[in-house]
Amino acid sequence: MSHLGMLLLGLALSWLWRAQVRLDRAGSWAQRWQWAWIHFLLPPLFLLMTALALAWMGPWGQMAGAGGWFCYGCALLLLALAAGVALRWAWEYWRVCRRARLRALAQVNLYGSSAYVLNLEIPFAAQVGVWKPQLVVSRGLLEQLDEEHLRAVLAHEEAHRHYGDTLWMFAVGWLRHLSSWLPNTEVLWQELLTLRELRADRWAAQRVDPLVLGEALVQVVGYGMAQQPAAAWVGFALEMGSGAGGRLQERIDALLQQEESGPVASHLSLQGWAWLGLALLPLLAIPFHN
């Protein structure tokens, strides 16, 4: 296969894979988790591996054909774009984390959790950062929630820290921006956000009263959460602006039906990793390049 054929095949397969996505919430949380991860990650990773293979093989050789230099340039352009988006994304994370610390009124201890307090009336709580996220809460949250409901919110935030949500959101957010032109990117992104919050709710509900957690969620959303959360924030209800009604109802229903919902997968299964392994197929062309 020529380099041009590899490039066109990579683009076609990535587009068609995403175009056939149809969101189905009838399955278990574990099934939805595996499905969303595979469909979100595989197309952009397949394209990146195609570009990497073409860049590695260069514009020469029997496989290159007449479009050798063109495909080589496209591959380098895609890899450079990916690197540029990653640097911009990292800068945004660093800037938000630094701003949160600089604007904090104080660093306090909330029932055993260290937190920065921002002087904002809108109630919110979020984990900010990548490797070592820091809890950030608003003055409004401390003033408008009683101790029982505040502890429930903090338990939810501790779940995000437990699962390393800020780290994987950094990586997945990069792929989201890089593949925004592919079909159904936003649909899959919203599904991942929903499942992330369901998982954090389930973890927190094992430590606090699920009804109290649900009441806290309704109270916080009722006050009006930020519709456009900062990129580096992973929080209690920060993403409720898009499809808020459906997601809020699903989270409340899940809290009320703990036994029926089933566990939320915290990682990809072996089958899921096998599917993602298909992204490495373009690299198999390298040994055949002469």
**Mean pLDDT value across residues 164-181:** 90
Please report, for the chain, the start and end positions of each structural domain, with discontinuous segments joined by +.
3-9+29-259
Cα separation of 133 and 207, whole Å?
Answer: 21
Q: Is the torsion defined by CA of 9, 14, 15, 18 positive or negative?
A: positive
Q: Which helix (H) or strand (E) holds 139?
A: helix 139-144
* 98-102, 201-205, 254-258: range with lowest mean pLDDT: 98-102
Identify the band that residue 242 occupies on the pLDDT scale cut at 50, 70 and 90: very low
Eight-state DSSP code of residue 44: H
* 153-157, 170-174, 211-215, 237-241: range with lowest mean pLDDT: 237-241
* 64-73, 102-111, 151-160, 170-179: range with lowest mean pLDDT: 64-73
* 36-45, 126-135, 158-167: range with lowest mean pLDDT: 126-135
Residue of 215 and 105 predicted with greater confidence = 215
Q: Rounded to whole angstroms, what are the CA distances from 228 to 53, 61, 232, 233, 289?
A: 37, 49, 12, 10, 47
Identify the band that residue 223 occupies on the pLDDT scale cut at 50, 70 and 90: low
**Mean pLDDT value across residues 152-160:** 93
pLDDT reported for residue 80? 96
Eight-state DSSP code of residue 58: -
pLDDT reported for residue 65? 57
**Mean pLDDT value across residues 273-278:** 93
Residue of 53 and 29 predicted with greater confidence = 53
For 87-140, the pLDDT digits (tens) are 998 888 888 778 877 777 788 898 888 899 988 888 888 888 888 888 999 898
pLDDT reported for residue 228? 43
For 48-96, the pLDDT digits (tens) are 999 999 999 888 766 555 557 888 899 999 999 999 999 998 888 888 7
